[in-house]
Every structure is written in structure tokens, then in C-alpha cells.
């Protein structure tokens, strides 16, 4: 299936925080809720989104922006497996998405007929956390094979998020991974973050993730 | 065990490539071979280094620099498990190591009594590939749970390396991972890169990795 690929330009705005606040307000005025998804490469952002969107799409109209340095495999996968609107954002080598780049993607995807947009950020635990994209909710995914020490080593991406999804829990028997240690470190850095363990592959606990989003969307 | 932690300063040099070339020549004049190790967070850089160093340390004098945004768990692990000289480099939030930062680390670790130094770069598939550290050999680690599409999505880190190590092959039965696809994409982007599949956990194929390094070191 073909998807549109957008080559992003470098932001012209000096002040990303102001631009992000303006974008957030603009989206609110249009009734659109934006979710920024961050993780290491290969933690399962796309698979998690596919599973979640297939549960949420009956109750709201969803669009997805897939940011990558190169290739359009993720946008194609989302479109093929969910049927929702999806665009690929090429960052031209950039390691993150800022508010201006996010706005370019939203202009291209067209938000008039959408209630919920997911931005899958570049797979990177460092730089994306430094740039407010204008999202209403930041979600960080940690996958079991990466190890339980990631919140210790990459603190900012855990401080800046509202939700931590721990993916690939089906692989727990094959890896040393201390759940309690992760919870302890995340809670110390970020008291407000909810932590939801799932397996996008087997579907375990996806009902909990779905309920979380339905609760958040109904509050808005 | 205690290790020294060094807070790196931003490089003063304008031209990183020139600084990297100068560092490479300086290290050669001192008989020191520098290896830059890059991967996603959690691909197993530290575990691979620990296993490899324990095999190589009988034939040469080794030092390790562990770069991280925060924490000193990796430098402590290397020192505890190998006994070789190890320092932690704190990047102050920076997402990569450049030649100037690498030089600061080398000055602190002291290279007079070393033949081989490993720099474990920040866990990140994007930014580290953009900065020549002055290393003589660049090694990229891909772990099986990350998926076989990483060379497609993060091309530069595969173009810029001499050696691709595919780690966690003990987890192959639990993940969809197409080895031939990885080899095909890596070879297309980078005809000279050697590809060595290993398991740092079970020790599988570590003899091949050890032999690769002994061959490279004897050539120098």
C-alpha cells in the first residue's frame, strides 16, 4: 500500500516551547488530541500503535505520523494493518521531531476529520525528550530485552512522559528484567507517570492500555 | 567498586573531522588502537565488551570509556567483571561523543600503559554516527529483539562502521528476525563491513569476535 512521505524542513521558529504551546492550543480548538510516542529503536512503537489503534478506531477517528530518518516501512505497516490515515515523516537525518516539524506533518495529514493523532517520534531515548512536540500526552515505551537500567541511564525521557508502557513482557522468561526496579526508578524521577506492562505481540494487557486512553480522551 | 566519573565539556574545536584525524594520528604515535562502539540503548554494548575484554586481556593492555547521560553502572560493571581500567564519561545530556570529548576521556584514563581502548558511545543509533570520535575502528551492535529493519531505518550508523555485531542470537527462537535480510541491507549500504553474530550471554561465537580483533590488532 502506498503512503505519502513528507520531507520535513528545519523549523524556522527560534523558540520551540512557544511554538509547541501554540500548536497544543490550536489542536484543542480543533478538537484534536495529540500523543507523542518515544522509545529506543526496536522497542515496539509501531506494533504497540497498531494493536492500540485497532481497539480505539471504533470510538474515534485516528491519524498517525511516522517519523524516521529513512524508509517508509512503518507508515505502510500502520496503514495496512489498521486502515487509518498514515503519513511518513522523513527528518532528513535529524534525530528528533520538534513542534515546527510536527506542525508540518499535521498540515499534510489534515486534521479536520480526526479526533486523535499519534506521532511516532524517531527511535532515540535522548534527543526527542528535549523537544516539546506540542503533544497533549507523552508516552515512553521500554521493552523488556533492553534491560531494566534504561530509566537510570536515560532519565529525561522518563521525566518528560505521562505514561510508561513496558512492552514485550512475553519475553520476560528469557531476559533478566526487574520490574520493581524499573517502577522504583521511574516513580522517583516522575511521580505522576502511569506504568502499563503489555505485550503488543500476544495482546496481553492491551485492554488496560485501551482503557487508559479512553479515560484520558473522555476527560478532554 | 568505585570508578572515576568525568563530566565532559563541550568541544572547543570547530572542525570535528580535523580534530578526529589528529587524535587518530596521536594515538598511533603512542601505539594505542581505539574502538568506538555504537548501538541502540540495551543492545548489549557493555555485556559484549565484558565478554570480549576477558578474552583479549591476556594478549594486550585494555582501557574502557563508558559514555552515558547519567549513572555509572556501566563503568562499574566493566571494572568489576574484567578488572581493566575503566572510566565513566558523563555527557551532560549530549547525545553523542565527538573527537574533543573522546580526547578528554583519554587524557583522564591515561593511555601510556594501554594498547587498546574501547569507547562505549551513548546508546543512540542516530547522532553518534554523525561524529568521528577519532577511533581506528567503528563497531555497530544490533540485537535480535530490536528487529531486522534497523539497518533500513538508521542507515548512517551501518554505513560508518567496519564491523556489525549481531547480539542476543540466543533469543532468535522468540523473535521474528530475518538474518539474510539484515545481511542484504548492510552489504548494500556498506560492502566492507564484516558481520559477526554472537550471544554475549551464552558465549556463542565469541571466539570468532576475539579472532577478528586479534587479526585487526596484529595488522596494525
- Chain B partners of A188 at a C-beta cutoff of 8 Å? none
Write out pLDDT tens, residues B98-149. 999 999 999 999 999 999 999 999 999 999 999 999 999 999 999 999 999 9
Enumerate long-range contacts of B205-212, CB under 8 Å, 24 or more apart.
Answer: B205/B169, B206/B51, B206/B52, B206/B55, B207/B55, B209/B48, B209/B52, B209/B165, B210/B52, B210/B55, B210/B56, B212/B163
* Per-state percent for chain B, helix, strand, coil, to nearest 5: 45, 20, 35
Return the SS3 of B145: helix
Residues of B in contact with A126 (CB under 8 A): 69, 93, 95, 122, 124, 127
- Number of domains observed in the structure of chain A: 1
- For residue B55, the distance in angstroms to the closest alpha carbon of chain A comes to 24
Residues of B with CB under 8 A from a CB of A: 40-42, 68-71, 73-74, 93, 95, 122-127, 130, 143, 145-147, 149-150, 152-156, 168, 170-171, 174-175
Give tens-digit pLDDT for A85-100.
999 999 888 899 999 9
What residues of chain B lie within 8 A of the CB of A130, using their CB? 93
Q: Which residues of B touch A155 (CB under 8 A)?
A: 69-70
- Within 8 A of B166 by CB-CB distance, chain A residues are none
Q: What would the DSSP string read from start to end of A142-153?
A: EEGGG-TTHHHH
For A155, name the nearest residue in chain B, comparing CA atoms only. Answer: B70
Per-residue pLDDT at A91: 87
Q: What is the mean pLDDT of residues A123-142?
A: 96
Domain limits for position A34: 5-216
Q: How far is Cα B89 from Cα B85, in angstroms, rounded to an integer?
A: 13
Q: pLDDT of A35-47, one tens digit each?
A: 999 999 999 999 9
Q: What is the CATH number of the domain that holds A126?
A: 3.40.50.300
pLDDT of residue B94: 87
Q: Are B112 and B32 in contact (CB under 8 A)?
A: no
Question: What is the DSSP-derived secondary structure letter of residue B93?
Answer: T
Per CB-CB distance under 8 Å, the chain A contacts of B176 are: none
Count contacts between A and B (CB, < 8 Å). 111
Q: Is A107 exposed, middle or buried (0-12, 13-18, 19+ CB in 10 A)?
A: exposed
Phi, psi values for residue B190, rounded to 5°? -155, 90
Q: Does residue B161 contact residue B138 with C-beta atoms inside 8 Å?
A: yes
Q: What is the pLDDT of residue A13?
A: 61
DSSP code of residue A11: P
- Split at pLDDT 50, 70, 90, the class of A158 is very high
Quote the pLDDT of residue B70.
Answer: 83
Of A68, A150, A168, nearest to B41 by CB-CB distance is: A150
Give yes or no for residue A220 having a pLDDT over 80.
no
Query: In the structure grid, which three cell numbers stand for residue A145, read together?
Result: 530485552
| Per-residue tens of pLDDT for chain B, all 220 residues | 677 888 777 665 679 999 999 999 999 999 999 999 999 999 999 999 999 999 999 999 999 999 988 888 999 999 999 999 999 999 888 899 999 999 999 999 999 999 999 999 999 999 999 999 999 999 999 999 999 999 999 999 999 999 999 999 999 999 999 999 999 999 999 999 999 999 999 999 999 999 999 999 997 5
- Nearest neighbour of A71 by CB, restricted to B127, B145, B152: B152
Most distant CA pair in chain B: distance in Å?
48
Quick one: angle between helices B16-29 and B99-109, nearest 10?
Answer: 30
The predicted pLDDT at position A92 comes to: 82
ipTM of this model? 0.89
d(CA A175, CA A150): 14
Q: Which residues of A touch B (CB under 8 A)?
A: 40-42, 68-71, 73-74, 93, 95, 122-127, 130, 143, 145-147, 149-150, 152-156, 168, 170-171, 174-175
Supply the Cα-derived Rg of chain B in whole angstroms: 16
Amino acid at each position: 500500500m502506498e503512503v505519502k512521505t513528507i520531507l520535513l524542513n528545519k523549523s524556522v521558529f527560534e523558540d520551540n516551547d512557544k511554538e509547541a504551546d501554540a500548536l497544543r492550543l490550536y489542536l484543542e480548538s480543533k478538537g484534536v488530541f495529540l500523543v507523542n510516542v518515544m522509545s529506543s529503536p526496536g522497542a515496539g512503537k509501531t506494533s504497540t500503535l497498531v494493536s492500540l489503534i485497532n481497539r480505539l478506531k471504533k470510538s474515534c477517528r485516528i491519524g498517525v505520523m511516522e517519523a524516521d530518518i529513512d524508509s517508509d516501512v512503518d507508515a505502510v505497516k500502520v496503514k495496512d494493518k489498521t486502515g487509518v490515515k498514515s503519513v511518513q515523516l522523513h527528518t532528513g537525518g535529524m534525530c528528533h521531531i520538534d513542534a515546527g516539524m510536527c506542525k508540518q506533518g499535521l498540515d499534510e495529514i489534515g486534521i479536520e476529520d480526526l479526533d486523535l493523532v499519534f506521532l511516532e517520534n524517531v527511535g532515540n531515548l535522548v534527543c526527542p525528550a528535549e523537544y516539546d512536540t506540542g503533544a497533549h500526552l507523552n508516552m515512553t515505551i521500554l521493552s523488556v530485552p533492553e534491560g531494566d537500567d534504561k530509566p537510570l541511564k536515560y532519565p529525561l525521557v522518563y521525566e518528560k512522559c505521562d505514561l510508561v508502557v513496558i512492552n514485550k513482557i512475553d519475553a520476560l522468561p528469557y531476559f533478566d528484567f526487574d520490574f520493581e526496579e524499573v517502577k522504583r526508578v521511574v516513580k522517583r524521577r516522575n511521580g505522576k507517570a502511569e506504568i502499563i506492562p503489555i505485550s503488543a505481540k500476544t495482546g496481553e494487557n492491551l485492554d488496560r492500555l485501551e482503557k487508559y486512553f479512553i479515560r484520558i480522551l473522555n476527560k478532554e
